[in-house]
Amino acid sequence: MYVICVLPQFAEGLSTLGLLDMMQIHHSTFKTAFCSSDKPLKATDLMMLFQAELTFLDGVFEITLDQLLVFASGADRIPALGFSPQPTLNFIHETGRKYPEANTCLVKLKLPIHNTYEVFTKYMCEGIVQAPTFGLVLELHHILRSVKAVLHTICMS
């Protein structure tokens, strides 16, 4: 009995902004928002539901999927029209290459192969965390070398 009294108030509230009329005109669209679905759950549904994180076992590094995208593509978001060419994933089979590699122009991610998941995770996290400063470190190295050369020239004069 109480539900019957509340429904007109609910309808009146929806009508104040014209939402009730839109719901009646586009009922199939609103049905998905207000009613549960009987479709079976898929892996993609869970992927959309949870935010995945890659973590180093002791919690020192935490890598987000955003960081992985920046590492692989240089972009912090997937472009509206997607990437062209299609991003690719390869594996590094050469011995001694421990860190992940990326070609941001081609959006090509190369993953190292390790004997254990723990070692793989360690080098993946280190490589991705350190990648943004890689160019900076090289640039600073060149600047310091130039300063050293200038100082050497001054001191020798």
Domain ranges of the chain: 2-34, 53-156
Taking each helix axis from N to C end, the angle separating 117-156 and 65-73, rounded to the nearest 10 degrees, works out to 50
What is the tens place of the pLDDT at every residue in 31-49? Answer: 777 776 677 767 676 566 5
Q: What is the DSSP string of 113-143?
A: --SSHHHHHHHHHHHHHHHHHHHHHHHHHHH
Residues shown for the chain: 157
Catalytic residue status for 125: no
Q: What is the pLDDT of residue 3?
A: 56
Q: What is the pLDDT of residue 17?
A: 84
Inter-residue contact 73 to 88 (CB < 8 Å): no
Handedness of CA 65, 71, 75, 79 (dihedral sign): negative
Q: What is the pLDDT of residue 1?
A: 52
Q: Which residue type, as a one-letter code, is found at position 56? A: F
The span from the CA of 87 to the CA of 65, in Å, is 15
Inter-residue contact 126 to 150 (CB < 8 Å): no
Confidence of residue 98 (pLDDT cuts 50, 70, 90): very high
User: Any idea which fold 53-156 has?
Assistant: Hect, E3 ligase catalytic fold (3.30.2410)
Query: Is the pLDDT at 132 greater than 80, yes or no?
Result: no
Confidence of residue 112 (pLDDT cuts 50, 70, 90): very high
Q: What is the pLDDT of residue 100?
A: 92
Q: What is the pLDDT of residue 57?
A: 47
64, containing H or E segment = strand 62-64
Query: Is the pLDDT at 156 greater than 90, yes or no?
Result: no
Q: What is the pLDDT of residue 36?
A: 64
Of 5, 35, 105, 155, the active-site residue reads 105
